[in-house]
Every structure is written in C-alpha cells, then in structure tokens.
C-alpha cells in the first residue's frame, strides 16, 4: 500500500475556528479526507493497543499559527506517518487500523456464490469503460476500502466496480475451476477480455473458442483459452518508455512472469520486448511535476539484460501504482511456489525483536527486492 497526501484544504467549523483537511490518496487515488485531530485520535488508539515502540512517531501539535513552510512540513510528516503505519503487517492487519474503514468485499463474493476458500484469488477493481467498448483497470481495491465510496470519489460516470482475479499465473485457474462460482467468474472475465482484444488467440483457436461459447461449454472454453497469447495478462493504457529509445510509444501488458511492451520505434517499426520479472532487482515510483500543476507518476525498474548488464528502464504511465502492484503480485506468486510459508521472526528497523511472527514470504520478498525504507523506495517525489 502506498499512501500519499497530495492536497490540503482550509475549512471552518460551526464556531468559526479554522482547520486543515488532508486529502489522503491510496495508490494515486483519493481515498478519504481527514483532519489532524482525527488522525491524532487514531494514533492514540494504535499506541494504546500496540505500545509506543511499534507505532511510528506522530507529528506534534502546533500551538502557534503555522507558516506556509510549517504547513508543508506537517503535510509531509503526516504522509510519512500514514505510510509507515500501512507498511507494518501487524498494525495494518488489525481491527483498529480498519476501524475507520470497512471490509465490503466478502459481501460481493457471497452474491456470486464464490466459496470462502477462493476469496483470496479474486478482488474488486475500479475500472473505466472506454468509447471503443473496452475498459481500463484503474486500481485494485484493498480489503478495507469502501467500494462505492471509492467509486463516488472519482466522479466519473464511466467508472465501474468489477470483480476479477487478482493473480497472474494461469495455472491457478485449475484450482478455481473446482468451484461453480469460480468457473462463472473466470468465464465472464475471459470472454469479456477476448471480445475486446486483450487476449489474442490464433484464428483456429479463436474458432474453437467461439464454438464453446455458443454451446455455453464454460469449462472447455477455459481449458482452451489458456493456450491463447496474453491470456491472463492485464492490458494497460497507451503510454511511453525510455527503452529502446527515449520517448518510445508503448502498449504494456503484465502477466505470467513478464512485463510485455509493444513499442513503436522512431522508424515506425514495432518491436515487442519482454522484461522477465525474475531479472528485475528493484523498482520505484516517482512523481514528476508536469506544467507546474500536476504530478505525473512513472515507474522505473533496474533490469539485467541478456548481456548481464544492469540498467534502469522507465515507463511513463498514470497507472504506475497499478503496474507496481502487479509486479509485486508476480514476485509473491513465484516465492509461494519456490518457498512456501513457514513462520519466522525478523528484526524491525529499530532492531527490536518483533513479537508477532511474520511468514518467510515477507522476508524473502524484502530480500529479493533489496528494498530501502518504503517512503524512499516506492514513492519518490521530485520537482
């Protein structure tokens, strides 16, 4: 989870007292607006339950009228505090952390008759329908988000909430096909994306899939479409990247174990490039100021090419947070397969032994990414 505070508003209460409202963004989208006093009370509850050593330091109160520089410092301090709280797997999994929010995803799962054991394989997404009949995935909703509040905050009549699988490895389909609800969701997603060109089967396979569709043979359809190119991939909106040339137009897909880029070179030739996730050492999101009015995200990753040379590749896309989350999902899927889950204890940044066990997957992922502290690694703001 990446939290940022990108805006503040000044308001007055019923007695005329002035205060500041902070717009809190989750992975690039407005999530909620809170006052300092609300965050302060939330922090007090966290400190009371978890103790002072586990909860990050909260920005102190100001007793004098803040200057512009002081207000900006307060905004950055609160952003850092929320990010650190969200990073802690113990705190973020607690009822106190989610008390301000609400988990509404299980209600949706019950309506489509999806077995509880398969809930972790699906998620709710905010998507935007496009004029050409397709759609674009904007973000994956976290378990504590209120779906319709998130949808309302976008103020866009073309946006919808969609249930779709959260994993990218097509091999997981086999397990989900044991559930009638799983088959229904997989089939609905597969046919929708096939009709809109996300998946590109050969002409022969496409005819076979059409036959299964007409006969409503869902299981046979799903078994066959797994052979199609880009099945299970997520298609991103048109963007640009700095490889193999600066400002190269690109169409990005993420799936299986790769970031697939179809690029248009300056010679008007098209070149398909596959960046294997197991060759990515680390990645980061930067927010660049555009026209002095808008922050635009970009995702950069350090990649080892076929010559064993490390270089940074940058993709310029407003879906950078979503792209980052799917890269992380691929890493997690690979680690699950290779290592499994075992309980262990690790030391936190303050060198105090964490009393609540983490699973080895978390530790392996941190080691794999060689991460710096999250506020430095994942969200780097530049002017």
- Asked whether residue 252 carries a pLDDT value surpassing 60, the answer given is yes
Cα distance between residue 188 and residue 107, in whole Å: 19
Q: Tell me, what's the pLDDT at 31?
A: 67
Alpha-carbon distance values, 221 to 81, 113, 129 (Å): 48, 21, 25
Q: What does the pLDDT read at residue 156?
A: 82
Q: Which of 253, 250, 226, 255 is nearest to 239 (CA)?
A: 250
Q: What is the pLDDT of residues 287-328, one digit of tens each?
A: 877 666 677 889 999 999 888 999 999 999 989 999 998 998
Domain ranges of the chain: 3-98, 105-225, 278-382
Average pLDDT, whole number, for the chain? 78
In this structure, what token pair is assigned to residue 51?
A: 């103790």
For the stretch 4-31, pLDDT in tens is 887 777 777 667 777 888 888 777 766 6
pLDDT of 382 over the 70 cut:
no
Superfamily of domain 3-98: Phox-like domain (3.30.1520.10)
pLDDT in tens, 88-104: 888 877 877 766 554 33
278-382: CATH class: mainly beta
Residue 344's pLDDT is 30
How many angstroms from the chain centroid is the CA of residue 362?
17
What is the pTM for the complete model shown?
Answer: 0.62
Rounded to the nearest 10 degrees, the angle between the axes of helix 180-195 and helix 218-225 is 60
Residues ≥6 apart with Cβ < 8 Å to 211:
none
* CATH entry 3.10.20.90 includes domain 105-225: yes
pLDDT mean over 97-120:
58
Strands of 44-201, DSSP E: 122-129, 135-140, 159-165
CB-neighbour burial class of residue 73 (10 A; exposed 0-12, middle 13-18, buried 19+): middle
Which percentage of the chain shows pLDDT scores above 90?
26
* pLDDT number for residue 251: 92
Helix (H, G, I), strand (E, B) or coil at 78: helix
Q: What are the pLDDT digits (tens) for 119-156? A: 778 888 888 887 776 778 888 887 666 676 677 777 78
């Amino acid at each position: 989870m990446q939290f940022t505070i990108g805006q503040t508003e000044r308001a007055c209460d019923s007695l005329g007292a002035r205060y500041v409202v902070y717009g809190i963004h989750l992975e690039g989208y407005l999530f909620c607006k809170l006052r300092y006093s609300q965050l302060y009370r939330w922090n007090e509850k966290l400190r009371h339950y978890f103790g002072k050593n586990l909860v990050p330091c909260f920005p102190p109160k100001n007793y004098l009228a803040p200057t512009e520089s002081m207000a900006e410092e307060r905004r950055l301090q609160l952003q850092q505090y929320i990010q650190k709280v969200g990073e802690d797997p113990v705190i973020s999994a607690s009822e106190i952390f989610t008390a301000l929010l609400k988990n509404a995803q299980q209600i949706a799962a019950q309506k489509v008759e999806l077995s509880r054991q398969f809930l972790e394989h699906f998620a709710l997404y905010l998507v935007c329908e496009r004029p050409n009949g397709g759609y674009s995935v904007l973000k994956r909703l976290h378990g504590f988000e209120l779906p319709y509040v998130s949808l309302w905050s976008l103020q866009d009549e073309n946006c919808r909430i969609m249930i779709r699988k959260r994993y990218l490895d097509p091999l997981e389909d086999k397990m989900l096909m044991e559930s009638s609800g799983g088959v229904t969701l997989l089939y609905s997603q597969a046919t929708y994306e096939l009709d809109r060109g996300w998946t590109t089967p050969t002409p022969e396979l496409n005819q076979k899939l059409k036959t299964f569709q007409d006969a409503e043979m869902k299981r046979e359809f799903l078994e066959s479409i797994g052979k199609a190119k880009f099945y299970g991939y997520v298609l991103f909106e048109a963007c640009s990247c700095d490889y193999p040339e600066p400002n190269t137009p690109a169409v990005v897909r993420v799936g299986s174990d790769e970031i697939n880029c179809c690029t248009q070179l300056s010679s008007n030739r098209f070149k398909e490039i596959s960046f294997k996730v197991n060759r990515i050492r680390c990645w980061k999101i930067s927010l660049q100021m555009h026209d002095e009015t808008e922050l635009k995200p970009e995702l950069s990753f350090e990649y080892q090419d076929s010559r064993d040379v490390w270089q940074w590749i940058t993709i310029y896309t407003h879906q950078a947070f979503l792209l980052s989350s799917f890269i992380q999902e691929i890493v997690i899927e690979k680690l699950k397969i290779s290592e499994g889950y075992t309980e262990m204890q690790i030391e936190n940044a303050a060198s105090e032994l964490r009393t609540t066990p983490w699973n080895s997957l978390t530790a392996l992922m941190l080691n794999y990414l060689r991460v710096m502290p999250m506020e430095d690694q994942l969200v780097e703001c530049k002017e």
